[in-house]
Chain A
Amino acid sequence: MSSPPRVDFPTSDIDDIEMDGPQDGTIDQSLSIAPPPQRLFLPGTPSAAGTPARQRYANSVTATPMSGIAARRALGMSTPRRAPRTPLFAPGSSPLAFPSSSPTKTPRRRVAIDSDPAFPDSEPLAFPSSPAAAFATPVKNRRGDIHSSLSLTPTARPSRRGEYNNDLSDNLNSDGTHLSIPASSVPHLSAPAAPSDEPDEIRAIWGTTVNLAETMKLFRDFLRGFKPKYRSIHDRQENLRTRAFATPDEGEVVLYETYMRRIRQTGETNLNLDMINLLSYPPCKKLFAQLQKYPQEVVPAMDQILKDLMLELADEDQQAGMDGMQGDQGDEEIADIMGKVYKVRPFGLTAVNMRELNPSDTDKLISIKGLVIRATPVIPDMKVAFFRCLTCAHTVQVEIDRGKIEEPARCPRDVCGSVGTMSLVHNRCEFADRQVIRLQETPDAVPDGQTPHTVSLSVYDELVDVCKPGDRVVVTGIYRSVPVRVNPRQRTMKSLFKTYLDVVHVRLGTGGTLGLDRSTRPAGGDKVPGIGGVGDSADDQELEEQIAQGGLTRKAELEAKLIDISRRHDLYDILARSLAPSIWEMDDVKKGILLQLFGGTNKSIARGGGGGGPRYRGDINVLLVGDPGTSKSQILQYVHKIAPRGVYASGKGSSAVGLTAYVTRDPDSKQLVLESGALVLSDGGVCCIDEFDKMSDATRSVLHEVMEQQTVSIAKAGIITTLNARTSILAAANPVESKYNVDLPITRNIDLPPTLISRFDLLYLVLDQVDETLDRKLAQHLVGLYLEDAPDTGGYDVLPLDELSAYIDYARTNIHPVLSSEAGDELVASYVSLRSIGASDPRSSEKRITATTRQLESMIRLSEAHARMRFAAHVELQDVQEACRLMREAIRTSAMDPRTGKIDMGLLNTGTGVGQRKMRDDMRRELLTMLDSGAGKGKGLKWGEAMKRLAEQSSIRVDTAEFSEVIKAMENEGVLTVVGERDRRMIRRVEGA
């Protein structure tokens, strides 16, 4: 900080000369800074300046190298040999950008001012008292998000100079301050201090004790010194779970230098900065508070430091001869960096509810979360207006100030001075992308009984179009209150204020309580698309999530509590009991659903085909079939409440579109948009479908794809796409005749295709049986529930809903059990024994299929879920045993052949059980005999008569449906034909068959 006074920049005029770089003048100047090899680099300049794409960066080109030097000097480092090139870049770019304001056209003025690339002319206009302000302007790191105050507080500039000639109380500094003060109608919006010549004051943010130079130094230290270990120390202090480092070295990496190199390599310009990292780096605690309180000053300062450091780092790397940074290549890189505007995008503050924002937060950095409900199209936002005098063609640029452009009333040229001749030249103005977004409170944040509030967000540049209506976002931004003019024609303002947020960082997709299964998302998929900035992001995701959910310590407390619960010996029972405590009994059903909520782990074969190989679902699907009035819907509703991303749909009411995705025309944009339905919405969660049997076939057919492939394919209105629907399905259905007929197999009782039924891992029959003791208990439970004041919850000790929900969420995100070899053996054994139940039956000659590989997969999933519930890293014997028990329970009720009393998975998989198949064979044999025997020979048999005769022979009733099945099968084989319609059908034997 104590670089020697620099005599080489005594006045602003000279600075300007240097900036616009008339060759002769500059050399002297630059010579004084460093040795003069700049001429050597001349060939490099045209490329930087000549590319049209760089035009917009012209301003910063001029500005930043200076600051680079400044920074270096401030650190007392040796001045790099590259520094003097600076002036060479500037001249190249400025004439290109502003050809008309070349020095020759306005000879009257000091050369410096007129030719200054940015908008030197605006200064004298706006602040006639400080004509020497020219130098100040070149810092045009215009950020939309900070813009309204940037013009007031060119903090980067004064502070930079503060560092760079901080012992020089030259008039440069005072220029800077002259510049900002008059504009700040709102004093506390801060600007560099009063127009005094004392450098100390200049470096402070107005009205505070914050010393900008110090702030910048702190941030520089931070970028140069922060290592992940600080974060883990901090997290430990806050009792947070910390990520373990693979090697001790990992904690010692200078994190932000890595990021900066990555920025350079990828050509990014954004650095996402997790503010918690600031807090955990001991020297920077102060900076955290400053950034929160004075973002408009601190953020530009940070941008500046980032750029300085980028250059510095590039230089170091070049010196070190790093790969890709050697010689000319390195020079090019550095030139490239100079041409860029770097932005620090801070985030990581605790998100508050938008209701809690109040006027005292004005101009502070805050973070809120919400739901995007509307986004305007991109609005070109004028950043710099370009005026030309109609009389003398003198040009002037005016920067936006608090959202409006002050039109110059008269030509600033003394000679001309004509009033009202300044006209706007549109194509010479500078514009930025801007978008206004309406953010609404998410349902979980709204106080009970109130309707949600909305707040406006202004997003700029790269953040435009990052969020779409419907997204849940956490935004970090600066809260603004701006006076409103009640009548636009009136010049005065009334004491009404509108508030909005200038957004600096957007993070998409925090579902609040609706945690989603992260294993369903590709790694890093949660990174903000579009701004893809380098820096802290996905890794910190979980921690942020915790912060977002309110308070670090509370989360830690909860976690400790959950782990406590997981150690209880009656864990399984208490969790099952806590699930829908108002529903009596049905323990196994509850346990099955509980395991569904935990879910198995999703597996993909990494070395399989392309794209990581196929993925095996870990989602467990459960179907409840049962008599009406057995509280199936209640269970579903309950699950919907606690499940991560739970979606509830009633089969009756939902059309195919409701359950999948549909195409509509967006009312605002008139564009076709794809709106996803329940299944896609519940991606990574549980979809509860009530009245499953009443769903239309078309809708149900969609489920085939969803339940095994876990995708939804859409081909509508020209949009063909496949959406992910990695969802567990919990469905409830009533039997066909509303009451379950125990004499019929389950497939006949539920009107569902067997292919669909077999996709359910667990199928429970919830039957209403008359049993005195059960009835008595049920009555007791209900009477207690509906008549007494303290409802009996079906158990003494249950977890409250939110705790259960938190427990499940925690397990799903953090526990990923793998099979132990012991468990694997047990699974094999159980599967074999399940299959052999049918095979080893001595009474029967034919084999029954009792279990298929689908059941094996289900068993694996269930055991994983059980292990997950125990917070165990490995699937153990007990998990498999419980999974098998549940499977057996479910199979016993659903796959039991009512005729034989045996378990037969064939019933579920093909819809016909062994007994049924045997009966059909008999029927077929008899029918053939009948046809071949005397009566029907030749002309065939009447349908009705065949039925009647079969019934006479058979001891059990002949089912019409069965009969037609048999006939159909024989027809397909070509053994017989059916002619005629309905009652007049004739069955004929095909000759020669």
Chain B
Amino acid sequence: MVSAFLIDAINNPTKVVQELFEEHTGDVNQFPAVVARHFSDVFLNSDDTLREVLPLDMNHSPESFTHRSLVRFHGMVQDTSPSPEMYLASLNENKCGGWGISQNTPASEWPSSFDYCDLREATTLWAVTVPGQTDWRTEELTDRLHCGSSSSQSPPQPHKFPVPNAPHIGVQVKIYDNDAAQLLKATDVVTFIGILTSESLDSEADSSPMVPSLHVLCHKLQSTGDAPHTEELATVREDLIKWIADEALGGDEDAAQWLLLELSAKVYTRTTPLLPPSLTLSRFPSPTPSSPALPTLHHVLSDLLAQYLTVPLSLDLLNTENFSPESKDEDLHSGYLQVPQGTVLLLTENGVREGKLVEKGIMNIRAVQEVMDAQTLEYSFPFSKFSFSTDIVTIVLCDGRKSAFFQTGFTVPLETKPLLKDNLYKPRDQIKIPDTVKLAAYRSFLATAKCCFGTVQVAEETSRHIQEDFVRQRQEDSSITADDLIHLMKVARLLAASMLEREVTVDIWERSKRLDASRKKRSP
């Protein structure tokens, strides 16, 4: 039933827009919303229709498309600062002027006179491939139906992608439905459907590079929807801990449990800061020359998480690369930390050697620390700094007793079993990957745990118990401060979430106390 619309829209989106324009009788200001509604109805209602549209991604570079073809692009909003673009909403003979149509008109056909009343604005922003989106997630989204040629060309504006020198797609996005566009924020993950063209980056400048440009017909913000809470997942927890411990952490199940707690965390409230704590896995040996540089944990996490990024810290990287975004010449350069909400960041300190940390490096470390402590990231603009809220879970791997650079919420020294010591670093193909069903269960377990964290409650009885407990402990040991209480409460909350419980019970409180005590015992 919808297929006729669908095929029309895919084959000649421009024509569909033009037809809609001719049919449209109401206020011309409403027209962009009408277009958005029409195309949303056609494409965004189900995944199947969405998949009909060719994706714009690493396998389908902008060059591989013909001019003005319909594409979908799943990307992260990197920069919303470009000035809105003005366009003529209607051209001669009742022709629609938006969606790049007027720019595309040959100069000879262009109206000699125009009415300033027909001017409208389009929101312009810059979007990039979602940084840190793991392969399985990308596959899930695109379905790899059409295998195009991978582009060898370097993307335009490479400084606008968080991970330097990484292959990605960067697109200038023009949204005509301004009200909807106002809601898009930096680091939001959005699926855009629109007409792909190539335009100059800055229409006002005399010489500016040509960049792929997407004239958006409709878009959808990625929702962090609730994962279904299924009973069978509860049993997955032990399996998962064991798998992570055996494959990536040298058989240390305690460390794996802490890792699991960490992965269940997200920003709960900001008013009274209840933020994901950061985790240091200390005593994590450095790779030997013969082993791969990246720990096995990297592969394991990228198989489990949808949003995951490894930053192999080194002095060189700290001193030269950007961690927080910075606006230079009115162009917002990205940094490692400009990643979507819910991303897990693995920072490996094993590559750090002796040397000098210059000012930039110090600022970078401060930026990471700021994310760990307050979940905010400062974007630098000339003469002003803007604080953006983030939701990033940070895990630090370090060789020493504690992280050289960061103060993390938890520090767990790794205790590997001698037999499994080698599995800390091994190539990807040596990992025993569970079957697809199990892997899917693991993934959905982690997603569910994260959801649970947002809903965990504390019963009246438990809170009384905790209070009593604290008073008693203080009497016994005066070195215990309020901070310890806060720390323990965080652990309890995380533990409840990782067990997919809705409530912190006295039992969980005691368990978390034991867990924390055993952690403390390890710390020298």
Q: A interface vs B, CB < 8 Å?
A: 185-186, 188, 358-360, 362-363, 371-374, 438, 440, 442-443, 446-455, 469-470, 481, 484, 486, 488, 490, 492-499, 582, 627-630, 653, 768, 770, 772, 775-776, 778-780, 782-789, 791
Contact A454 B467 (CB under 8 A): no
Q: Which residue of A lies closest to B470 (CB)?
A: A779
For A446, what are the chain B residues with a Cβ–Cβ distance below 8 Å?
386
Tell me if B226 is interfacial: C-beta within 8 Å of chain A.
no
For A783, what are the chain B residues with a Cβ–Cβ distance below 8 Å?
458, 463, 466-467, 485, 489
Distance (whole angstroms) from the CB of A205 to the closest CB of chain B: 15
Which of B200-208, B287-295, B404-412, B415-423 lies at the interface with chain A? B200-208
- 15 new A-B pairs (CB below 8 Å) besides A451-B186, A786-B489, A788-B457? A185-B113, A359-B120, A372-B383, A440-B382, A447-B185, A451-B386, A481-B86, A488-B206, A495-B102, A496-B85, A496-B203, A582-B272, A629-B481, A775-B470, A783-B466
A785 to B272, CA, bound (A): 7
Other-chain contact of B463, A452, A493, A582, A788 (Cβ < 8 Å): A788
Other-chain contact of A776, B115, B188, B463, B471 (Cβ < 8 Å): B471
For A772, what are the chain B residues with a Cβ–Cβ distance below 8 Å?
471, 474-475
For B485, what are the chain A residues with a Cβ–Cβ distance below 8 Å?
779, 782-783
Task: Mark B444-473 against chain A: 1 for CB-CB distance below 8 A, else 0.
Answer: 000000000000011000110011001100
* A-B residue pairs in contact (CB < 8 Å), sample of 24: A188-B115, A362-B116, A374-B382, A443-B385, A447-B185, A450-B81, A451-B332, A484-B203, A486-B200, A492-B108, A492-B110, A495-B91, A495-B97, A498-B203, A498-B204, A582-B271, A770-B474, A770-B478, A775-B471, A779-B467, A779-B470, A783-B467, A787-B504, A791-B271
Given contacts A454-B330, A486-B200, A770-B474, contact A494 B81 (CB under 8 A): no
Distance (whole angstroms) from the CB of B283 to the closest CB of chain A: 25
Which 8 pairs across A and B sit closest by C-beta, in order of nearness? A449-B185, A359-B119, A497-B86, A787-B458, A492-B107, A495-B102, A451-B81, A779-B470
Given contacts A495-B110, A786-B486, contact A443 B384 (CB under 8 A): yes
Contact B474 A791 (CB under 8 A): no
Contact B383 A373 (CB under 8 A): yes
Residues B166-187 near A (CB distance < 8 A): 182, 184-187
A787 to B506, CA, bound (A): 13
For A775, what are the chain B residues with a Cβ–Cβ distance below 8 Å?
470-471, 474
Task: Mark B220-246 against chain A: 1 for CB-CB distance below 8 A, else 0.
Answer: 000000000000000000000000000
Tell me if B79 is interfacial: C-beta within 8 Å of chain A.
yes
Task: Mark B83-99 against chain A: 1 for CB-CB distance below 8 A, else 0.
Answer: 11111100100000100
For B330, what are the chain A residues with a Cβ–Cβ distance below 8 Å?
373-374, 438, 454
Contact A499 B463 (CB under 8 A): no
Tell me if B482 is interfacial: C-beta within 8 Å of chain A.
yes
For B482, what are the chain A residues with a Cβ–Cβ distance below 8 Å?
629-630, 778-779, 782
Tell me if B321 is interfacial: C-beta within 8 Å of chain A.
no
Distance (whole angstroms) from the CB of B495 to the closest CB of chain A: 13
Tell me if B136 is interfacial: C-beta within 8 Å of chain A.
no
Contact A499 B466 (CB under 8 A): no
A498 to B82, CA, bound (A): 12
A450 to B83, CA, bound (A): 12
Contact A786 B272 (CB under 8 A): yes
A653 to B186, CA, bound (A): 28
For A493, what are the chain B residues with a Cβ–Cβ distance below 8 Å?
110
Distance (whole angstroms) from the CB of B166 to the closest CB of chain A: 22
For A789, what are the chain B residues with a Cβ–Cβ distance below 8 Å?
457
For A778, what are the chain B residues with a Cβ–Cβ distance below 8 Å?
470, 482
A987 to B389, CA, bound (A): 63
Other-chain contact of A497, B82, B105, B119, B200 (Cβ < 8 Å): B119
Contact B81 A449 (CB under 8 A): no
A492 to B114, CA, bound (A): 13
A185 to B114, CA, bound (A): 9
Residues B56-97 near A (CB distance < 8 A): 79-88, 91, 97
Contact A452 B381 (CB under 8 A): yes
Q: Which residue of B lies closest to A584 (CB)?
A: B482
Task: Mark B323-352 against chain A: 1 for CB-CB distance below 8 A, else 0.
Answer: 000010010100000000000000000000
A653 to B369, CA, bound (A): 13
Q: Is the interface of B mostly helix, strand, loop or mixed?
A: mixed
Contact B83 A454 (CB under 8 A): yes
Distance (whole angstroms) from the CB of A42 to the closest CB of chain B: 51
Contact B467 A786 (CB under 8 A): no
Given contacts A492-B107, A629-B481, A791-B272, contact A449 B388 (CB under 8 A): yes
Contact B384 A442 (CB under 8 A): yes
Tell me if B274 is interfacial: C-beta within 8 Å of chain A.
yes
Q: Which residue of B lies closest to A637 (CB)?
A: B374
Contact A786 B383 (CB under 8 A): no
Given contacts A185-B113, A450-B80, A791-B269, contact A495 B384 (CB under 8 A): no
Interface centre among B366, B471, B493 (most CB of A within 10 A): B471
A448 to B379, CA, bound (A): 13
Tell me if B303 is interfacial: C-beta within 8 Å of chain A.
no
Task: Mark B388-402 against chain A: 1 for CB-CB distance below 8 A, else 0.
Answer: 110000000000000
Tell me if B121 is interfacial: C-beta within 8 Å of chain A.
yes
Given contacts A486-B200, A495-B88, A782-B482, contact A469 B470 (CB under 8 A): no
Q: Which residue of A lies closest to B185 (CB)?
A: A449
Contact A447 B182 (CB under 8 A): yes
Contact B384 A779 (CB under 8 A): no
Distance (whole angstroms) from the CB of B391 to the closest CB of chain A: 12
Contact B121 A359 (CB under 8 A): yes
Residues B267-310 near A (CB distance < 8 A): 269, 271-272, 274
Other-chain contact of B186, A362, A372, A449, A770 (Cβ < 8 Å): A449
A440 to B117, CA, bound (A): 26
Contact B107 A359 (CB under 8 A): no
Q: Which residue of A lies closest to B373 (CB)?
A: A633
Distance (whole angstroms) from the CB of B182 to the closest CB of chain A: 7
A371 to B381, CA, bound (A): 11
For B87, what are the chain A residues with a Cβ–Cβ distance below 8 Å?
495-497
Distance (whole angstroms) from the CB of B186 to the closest CB of chain A: 6
For B115, what are the chain A residues with a Cβ–Cβ distance below 8 Å?
188
Contact B113 A371 (CB under 8 A): no
Contact B489 A787 (CB under 8 A): yes
For B188, what are the chain A residues with a Cβ–Cβ distance below 8 Å?
449
Distance (whole angstroms) from the CB of B29 to the closest CB of chain A: 10
For B107, what are the chain A residues with a Cβ–Cβ distance below 8 Å?
490, 492, 494
Contact B269 A362 (CB under 8 A): no
Interface centre among B269, B462, B463 (most CB of A within 10 A): B463
Contact A786 B204 (CB under 8 A): no
Q: Which residue of B lies closest to A792 (CB)?
A: B272
Given contacts A438-B330, A497-B86, A499-B83, contact A452 B383 (CB under 8 A): no
Contact B81 A452 (CB under 8 A): yes
Contact B493 A787 (CB under 8 A): yes
Distance (whole angstroms) from the CB of B161 to the closest CB of chain A: 16
Other-chain contact of B379, A362, A447, A451 (Cβ < 8 Å): A451
Other-chain contact of B203, A372, A448, A454, A486 (Cβ < 8 Å): A486
For B84, what are the chain A residues with a Cβ–Cβ distance below 8 Å?
453
Interface centre among A363, A452, A455, A768 (most CB of B within 10 A): A452
For A470, what are the chain B residues with a Cβ–Cβ distance below 8 Å?
383
Tell me if B149 is interfacial: C-beta within 8 Å of chain A.
no
A186 to B118, CA, bound (A): 12
Distance (whole angstroms) from the CB of B117 to the closest CB of chain A: 8
Contact B490 A786 (CB under 8 A): yes
Contact B481 A484 (CB under 8 A): no
For A776, what are the chain B residues with a Cβ–Cβ distance below 8 Å?
467, 470-471
Contact A453 B471 (CB under 8 A): no
For B86, what are the chain A residues with a Cβ–Cβ distance below 8 Å?
359, 481, 496-499
Tell me if B12 is interfacial: C-beta within 8 Å of chain A.
no
A629 to B362, CA, bound (A): 25
A470 to B87, CA, bound (A): 32
Contact B110 A494 (CB under 8 A): yes
Given contacts A496-B103, A772-B475, A787-B463, contact A186 B386 (CB under 8 A): no
